Amino acid sequence: MHINNPREQEFVDKLVRKGLLIPTGVAGVYGRNEVFEDVIHRFDDFITVSARNDMAEVIRFPPVLNRKNFELSGYLQSFPQLAGSIFSFEGTTEEHEKLLDTIHEGKDWSIYQKMTDVVLTPAACYPVYPVAAARGPISQAGCLFDVMSYCFRHEPSTDPARLQCFRMREFVRIATADEVVQWRDAWIERGRRMLEDVGLFVISDVANDPFFGRGGRMLAISQREQRLKLELLVSICSDENPTAVMSCNYHQEHFGHIFGINDESGNCAETACVGFGMERIALALFHTHGLDPNRWPAGVRGKLWH
């Protein structure tokens, strides 16, 4: 559990008073009003327009994932604490009565739930790899996907920028090592320009994922040394501790190997992804330009409401 920070609480309180965020009684789960949603949709459109010439293949998945593919993906090796699995009731009428009694008594009813074939999507790109693999060998030019999904991470927090359920727009490149690295690195500069275009002050940094457990520290160091994860960060609750709003990741052969994505000669394809944290970008815009988008600088409005 994230430690409460007075600046975060102050920002959340402002957003709630203005109606932009609507508490649900669970940390990191909010409703949003029309103004907040409009900002998300406008930035989403801005991404679409900015990347239009790339001709990415658009696919949209629901926020659940085939559990078997999730087990293969390696997510539970690295981030077991963040994953969400979906359980359901498969019992008899008698067990149903016991389930209801247990709830009525305020006790734990998890024994009446069984694991289903689906889990929550942890990052928008996860459903793409098995789909790409099923199509057969990757052509010389490789492929490029455009995905967006609600993602789930089990990390209840009072930080408004650390939601349990949030939208991630992502592009996924599958090609040779040289090509995916070049594509990923080009997106760092392009992403920086896009965020600066909407008036955000951006810094870039080498980063690491929140790997779990004792072995996690070594994985994080290795990930940083190889510069596999580059982030663009902006101020949301604090100027001293900026928040990542874009993450540009080079997976090497990780997904290609697991899901059997190969080129026409049978060589394992490499992958990279570039993700935008949509709620974080909206929060950064509200933090930077104020809570009323009608009063945002003309240049910023011109980019988003064109």
Q: Segment near its own copies (CB under 8 A), from 18-26, 203-211, 264-272, 280-288?
A: 18-26
Q: What residues form DSSP beta bridges with 276? A: 169, 246
Q: Segment near its own copies (CB under 8 A), from 62-70, 187-195, 249-257, 292-300?
A: 62-70
Binding residues for its own copies, how many (CB under 8 A)? 70
CA distance 217 to 96: 44
Minimum separation from the CB atom of position 68 to its own copies (A): 7
Q: What is the DSSP string of 109-139?
A: -GGG-EEEEEEE-SSTTTTHHHHHHHT-SBP
CA distance 44 to 127: 20
In this structure, what token pair is assigned to residue 91? 């019992």
Amino acid in the structure at residue 295:
R
Q: Which residue has the tokens 């990191």?
A: 28
Residue 71 makes contact with its own copies by CB under 8 A: yes
Site for its own copies in 186-225 (CB under 8 A): 212-215
- Give burial (CB, 10 Å; 0-12/13-18/19+) of 76: middle
The smaller minimum CB distance to its own copies, of residues 248 and 285, is found at: 285
Say how far residue 227 (Cα) sits from the centre of its chain.
19
Given 2, 4, 31, 107, the residue binding its own copies (CB under 8 A): 31
Residue 100 makes contact with its own copies by CB under 8 A: yes
Given 54, 107, 116, 226, the residue binding its own copies (CB under 8 A): 116
Given 3, 55, 58, 141, the residue binding its own copies (CB under 8 A): 58
Cα dihedral 71, 72, 76, 79, rounded to 10, equals -130
Given 131, 219, 220, 300, the residue binding its own copies (CB under 8 A): 131
CA distance 58 to 116: 28
Site for its own copies in 236-265 (CB under 8 A): none
Residue 2 makes contact with its own copies by CB under 8 A: no
Given 2, 17, 68, 193, the residue binding its own copies (CB under 8 A): 68
> Within a 13 Å sphere around the CA of 294, how many CA atoms are in the beta-carbon half?
1
175 membership: H or E segment, kind and range: strand 165-175
* Contact footprint for its own copies (CB under 8 A): 22, 24-26, 29-34, 37, 57-69, 71, 76-77, 80-91, 93, 96, 99-100, 103, 108-110, 112-118, 120, 127, 130-131, 150, 152, 154, 156, 163-166, 212-215
